[in-house]
Chain A
Amino acid sequence: MSKLLKGLRSIREVFRLLLTHRMGIVGIVVFAVLIFFTIFAPFLHTVDPMRAGVGADVLQPPSSQFWLGTDHLARDVWSQTIYGARVALLVGFVAAAVTVGIGTLIGLIAGYFGGLLGEVLMRITDFFLMLPYLPLMIVLAAVLGPSIGNIILVVIIVYWPFTTRVIRSQVLSIKKRAFVEASRSVGASHSLLIFGEILPNVVPLICAQAVVMVTWAIYAEAVLAFLGLGDPTTISWGMMLNFVFERGLITMAPWWVIPPIVCICATILAFTFLGNAVSDIMKPGYREARGL
């Protein structure tokens, strides 16, 4: 219980520190807007983003009925834009959580045990890191078929080794520190050493990795959807752009292009800034330099 409280307090502390960082503030504001869109999407002058309209409403410019105009099936661009936030956050958070989880676990094991097991795990990790990541994602997504679940799966397969590398090198240095040696000498088990002594010390690094992975996952979804590998049962920002480009409609309906572009750029920049801010505030001496 006290550990949980301590955890909560440290999250609040991280949040407080983020608000002292200029990039952190930008990131948090955009993130808050996305969450607002995600929760309140049905109440924001939206209609079903997938429902096609009547012929007369096809490719209409922005008006009081269609705030951002309509697409080639007379669907409301404003609604698609708002609902797109749901897909971005869903893919971003689910994929990042699993990726960082798997990556951390393998990194802990490879770093802690070393030897043949560690060597084999790192060979596998390095093999995946060596592959060209976008072609790999495209081929996997094309083979598995277009769905949100498969996009998340592809992101996990391609990104976990990045986390593993980072975590492992940290584990290698923590493993040699005095407090781990002390625990070991009094007969602590492997699992206690890994999860009780080493894991708590990589938590800051895991947080930083998590923000990076959310960013990359949102990025991956946007790119794959733009390349025509999005889930046809929903609508995402990347898919909106795919529709425009597949049909060569960019000159006929710029209002259809600008909202998803703005959303993709704002979201990815915000999470990138947030990631920078998180790694900045975790540097020793950040508080002192700011007089906090």
Chain B
Amino acid sequence: MAPKGFIGFAIRKVSGAVLTIFIIICFNFVLFRLVPGDPVRMMFGDPRVSPERIREMYEQFGLSGTLWEQFTAYLRQLFLYGDLGQSFARGAPVLEVIADRIPQTVILVLTALIIAVITGTMLGAIAGWKTGTRFDSIIITLSLGMYAIPAFALGIIALLIFAFYLGIFPLGGMETVQSGLTGWSYWKDVLWHMSLPILAIVVWYIGEYVIVTRNAMQDTLDQDYILAARAKGLKGSAILRRHALRNAILPVVTITGVNVAFAVAGVIQVEAVFRWPGLGRLMYESVMRRDYPVLQGLFLLFGLAVVLANLTVDLIYGYIDPRIKVGGGE
């Protein structure tokens, strides 16, 4: 049974999210029309292209008719057929181009996230346990630093050290080209290519988990029941496991949900560095080729991911903690 008032709270949150997504969709439409010059002429500037073909192009990219006609056609295509338009550079539907890249990005982000959460909370808990020691201050300074440096810079540093100077990892890509590997050895090859991108994302992402867990640990250690637990003769590691980590779980879930935008930013940069064939690399390639329909589709997808993740966190919180509903959206 949901707590009292939760249904109303949930409806408010969901409708807010739906509205946000709709505004993103409209924003996407406007943005694309802001392109200086004529995108079709820019892509197909060749004077030998016949006027009929040009007219066809306008039709194909949804650029014919008045702005209002274009807008309603755009919405109809999107909502009725899930159609995001046609890629300029790839001659395929945007949806197809994007769908092709989703699994690679999901694998990368999920693996990196799991490693970052586990090691980050461990390091943070230890740092919090040893507050004020040298270990603590080194961990905290490093966390702040890693968190601040752009992910692409971390990626390039990892690439220089481990791929270029030490030569133990490949320079990029997802698999050895034309290796003909199958089965287990193929996946081993993929894992080998994945190591450096994952390292870069983990290093970038870990700092926040370290800091959050450290603060939760410090809060816990100030509580009376910890004193009681110590008096009972409970060992440090047991206090850490039973109380501190449990306290840190909610903030860890929250930052994971709230920071999807942050994760997206990291994965775009790292995929660009390592030529990892995911969504981030697709965004980079589409920037290079000025493939606006694909950029538009990616922006919608990332926006959706961020809005849904935030909605999920809001709903979980509203369900667990009745105080939040009183404050409404705050």
Contacts and interface: CB of A to CB of B under 8 A. Distances in A.
Interface of A: 126-127, 130-136, 138-140, 142-145, 215, 219, 222-223, 226-229, 241, 245-246, 250-251, 254, 257-258, 261, 264-265, 268-269, 272, 276
A130 B307 contact: yes
Contact of A127 (B20, B157, B288): B20
A272 B283 CA distance: 28
A219 B147 CA distance: 12
A139 B296 contact: yes
Nearest to B304: A132
Q: What does DSSP make chain B's interface, helix, strand, loop or mixed?
A: helix
Given A135-B264, A227-B272, A276-B144, A241 B292 contact: no
A250 B36 CA distance: 34
Contact of A142 (B148, B287, B307): B287
A126 B329 CA distance: 10
B156 A261 contact: yes
A227 to B, nearest CB: 6
B150 A264 contact: yes
B190 to A, nearest CB: 21
Ranked 8 nearest A-B pairs via Cβ: A134-B265, A272-B148, A132-B302, A132-B261, A135-B302, A132-B306, A132-B264, A139-B299
A78 B56 CA distance: 50
Q: Identify which of B23, B152, B260, B272 gathers the most chain A CB atoms within 10 Å of its CB.
A: B152
Contacts of B292: 142-143
B299 A272 contact: no
B201 interface: no
B169 interface: no
B24 A245 contact: no
20 contacts: A126-B329, A127-B20, A132-B261, A132-B305, A133-B261, A134-B268, A139-B31, A139-B295, A143-B35, A215-B148, A223-B150, A226-B269, A227-B269, A227-B283, A228-B284, A228-B288, A229-B287, A245-B272, A265-B149, A276-B144
Interface residues of B, number: 46
Given A133-B261, A139-B295, A228-B287, A268 B148 contact: yes
Given A127-B23, A251-B164, A140 B31 contact: yes
Q: Identify which of A131, A140, A258 gathers the most chain B CB atoms within 10 Å of its CB.
A: A131
A241 B35 CA distance: 26
Interface string B296-318: 10110011011100100000000
B18 interface: no
B123 interface: no
A131 B303 CA distance: 6
Q: Identify which of A140, A142, A222, A251 gathers the most chain B CB atoms within 10 Å of its CB.
A: A142
A269 B260 CA distance: 23
Q: Identify which of B156, B273, B302, B307 gathers the most chain A CB atoms within 10 Å of its CB.
A: B156
Nearest to B23: A127
A241 B156 contact: yes
B164 A250 contact: yes
A142 B295 contact: yes
Contact of A254 (B164, B272, B287, B307): B164
Nearest to B156: A261
